[in-house]
Amino acid sequence: MAEVLVLAELNPAAGGPRKSTLEALTAARALGEPAAVVIGAPGTAAGIKDTLAEYGAAKVYVAESDDVDAYLVAPKAEVLAQLVAERSPAGVVIPSSPEGKEIAGRLAIKTGSGFLTDVTEIAADGTATQVAFAGATIVHSQVTVGTPIYTLRGNSVTPEPAPAAGTEETVQVAVSEAAKQTRVLDRVVEQKSNRPELTEAAIVVSGGRGVASAENFSVIEGLADSLGGAVGASRAAVDSGFYPHSFQVGQTGKTVSPQLYIAVGISGAIQHRAGMQTSKTIVAVNKDPEAPIFELADFGVVGDLNTVVPAATEQISAR
Ligand code: FAD
């Protein structure tokens, strides 16, 4: 079976691979046999290779050196280009993070290949699915030149374990002078709260303009904490300064696909839906029975969030 290279992304705060990596390994299986690529400082692969194998990596290519870690994305693109030349894989799958997209673009140039960004699915024949215009249009495309390179949109695939050998193979790294133009001076791992990371959480409670103030977002945080979930926000809420922009869910924010999404004081605009409509169960709390979010919700509560949410939090916390 043809090999498919999957670039591993690490979660420094949790000390393991990001969920996006497990999603990429799962998606890559349609195309061939996944081989994870770990690029980082010496010792990076040791703590994550078992998890990579558990999610289907038949092989784990380990490219570790201080040099690949000391410069920005260029060395990673070089390592992947080297592996593409040596292994002729059926494709390369990279998580669609800002760094992943930059690596994919550089890799496409280096290998003379086509690349498809933000794909949500990859079929056995290499056809990729992309979602455009906030979910209104579905596009199917194929790369026709070089080795197909895909960046996989977060939360579009459910990570599924598929234990494989995870045979480790060391990649000799020789970072070129051209790739050493931007040195990393410092890495800051932000760990502001004990809540799960928004895009990886199983439960997300989001607040909208209806929350009415930054102070009142404590109502949203209270419900999220009672459920062990993450906090999200609509663009109207973040633009009003109620919550930081990094928590925005939607077309121009983050995409989430939790088991449970609770939308509180959010009307359900198409741009908000684009970031949460694949959630498994959607609950809406809104005082307007005509709010469009109710068309999408599995369960709805018509009422004032300032009454409904604290009551729900109290009931859940009492259990
Ligand atoms: P509103 O639409 O004002 O809705 C507030 C809701 O709260 C209403 O339904 C109201 O009935 C309810 N409410 C008010 N008070 C209470 C109360 N006390 N109790 C219960 N319910 C109450 N939006 C995003 O969210 N994410 C994006 O990524 C995003 N990207 C965009 C990109 C573009 C190019 C554009 C043009 C827009 C984008 N938007 C995005 C904005 C989007 O169009 C909406 O304006 C936004 O989602 C509305 O946020 P909201 O639902 O919180 O506010």
Residue 212 sits in a domain whose CATH number is 3.40.50.1220
C-alpha 249 to ligand 1 mean position (Å):
11
The answer to whether residue 184 sits within a structural domain is no
The ipTM estimated for the assembled molecules is 0.99
Same structural domain for residues 223 and 138?
A: no
C-alpha 134 to ligand 1 mean position (Å):
15
Same structural domain for residues 17 and 111?
A: yes
CATH code at position 99: 3.40.50.620
Same structural domain for residues 146 and 60?
A: yes
Q: What is residue 173's three-state secondary structure? A: coil
The answer to whether residue 196 sits within a structural domain is no
Q: What integer pLDDT is reported at residue 133 of this predicted model? A: 76
Ligand 1 atom closest to Cα of 268?
51
The answer to whether residue 234 sits within a structural domain is yes
Q: 150-180, pLDDT tens digit by residue?
A: 999 988 899 999 999 999 999 998 899 999 9
Residue 37 has pLDDT above 70, yes or no: yes
Q: 53-99, pLDDT tens digit by residue?
A: 999 999 999 999 999 989 999 999 999 999 999 999 999 999 999 89
Same structural domain for residues 233 and 293?
A: yes
Q: What's the domain range around 208?
A: 203-318
What is the number of structural domains in the chain?
2
Same structural domain for residues 43 and 170?
A: yes
List all residues whose CB is within 6 A of at least one atom of ligand 1.
208-210, 234-237, 248-253, 265-267, 269, 271-272, 275, 285-288, 291, 304-306
Q: What integer pLDDT is reported at residue 1 of this predicted model? A: 85
Identity of the residue numbered 280: K
The mean pLDDT value of the chain amounts to 94
Can you tell me the mean pLDDT for 97-104? 94
Query: Using 50, 70 and 90 to split pLDDT, how confident is the model at 191?
Result: low
Instruction: Check residues 59 and 278 and name the one with the higher pLDDT.
Output: 59
Same structural domain for residues 164 and 231?
A: no
The best mutation among 255, 272, 285 to test binding of ligand 1, ranked by most ligand atoms within 8 Å of the C-beta, falls on 272
| Distance (Å, whole) CA 197 – CA 15 | 14
Q: 125-158, pLDDT tens digit by residue?
A: 999 999 887 777 899 999 999 999 999 998 889 9
- Pair type for strands 128-132 and 115-122: antiparallel
Q: Edge-to-edge strands of the sheet including 91-95?
A: 137-141, 128-132, 115-122, 149-152, 91-95, 3-7, 33-40, 59-64, 167-170
Of 112, 144, 179, which closes a domain?
179
Identity of the residue numbered 319: R
Residue 194 has pLDDT above 90, yes or no: no
Q: 6-18, pLDDT tens digit by residue?
A: 999 998 767 789 9
Task: Please list the residues that pair with 10 across neighbouring strands.
Answer: 17
